[in-house]
Amino acid sequence: MSHASDQVVRGSYFWADVLRFIAALLVVMEHSRDLLFLTVAEAGKLSLIWKAFYFLTGFGSEAVIVFFVLSGYWITSAITRRIDRQAFWRDYLIDRLSRLLIVVVPVLILGGLLDLASIRLIGSHYADGASGALTVQQPVSASLSLSTFLGNLVFLQKLVVPTFGSNGPLWSLAFEFWYYIWFPSLLLLLTRRRFSIGLLSLALGALSLGLVEGFGVWLMGSALFYLDRRFTQSVTPWLGGTGWKQVFALFVSLVLLGAALVASRLSVPIARSSIVLGGAFSLFFWVLLRLDPGQLRPAAPFARYGAGSSFSLYALHFPVILALASIIAPGQRTMPDSARLLQWGGLVLAAIALAWLFSRLTEARTPQLRDWARRRFPG
What is residue 76's predicted lDDT score, i.e. its pLDDT?
Answer: 97
Asked if 332 and 131 count as a contact pair (C-beta separation under 8 A), the reply is yes
What is the percent of the chain with per-residue pLDDT over 70, rounded to a whole number? 95
DSSP state of 118: I
Cα–Cα distance for residue pair 235/120, rounded to 1 Å: 65
Cβ-contact 355, 312 below 8 angstroms = yes
Q: What is the pTM of this model?
A: 0.93
Cβ burial, residue 234 (10 Å; 0-12/13-18/19+): exposed
Mean pLDDT along residues 129-157: 96
Give residue 147's pLDDT. 97
Domain ranges of the chain: 4-235+285-376
> What's the pLDDT tens digit per position in 262-316?
999 998 887 778 999 999 999 999 999 999 998 999 999 999 999 999 999 999 9
Q: Are 289 and 228 in contact (CB under 8 A)?
A: yes
Q: What is the pLDDT of residue 379?
A: 67
Phi, psi of 103 (to 5 degrees): -100, -45
Residues near 168 by Cβ (< 8 Å), separated by ≥ 6?
135, 136, 318
The mean pLDDT value of the chain amounts to: 93
Task: Write the pLDDT tens digit of every residue in 1-25.
Answer: 554 444 457 899 999 999 999 999 9
One-letter amino acid identity for 354?
A: L
Q: What is the pLDDT of residues 156-168, one digit of tens each?
A: 999 999 999 999 9
Q: What pLDDT was estimated at residue 7? A: 47
pLDDT at 242 over 80: no
pLDDT given at position 167:
97
pLDDT the model gives residue 1? 53
Instruction: Reduce the DSSP state of residue 316 to 3 states and report it.
Output: helix
The CB-side HSE value for 336 (13 A sphere, CA atoms) comes to 23
DSSP secondary structure, 144-187, as one string? -SHHHHHHHHTT-BTTTBPPSTT-GGGHHHHHHHHHHHHHHHHH
Q: Which residues contact 263 (CB under 8 A, 6 or more apart)?
A: 270, 271
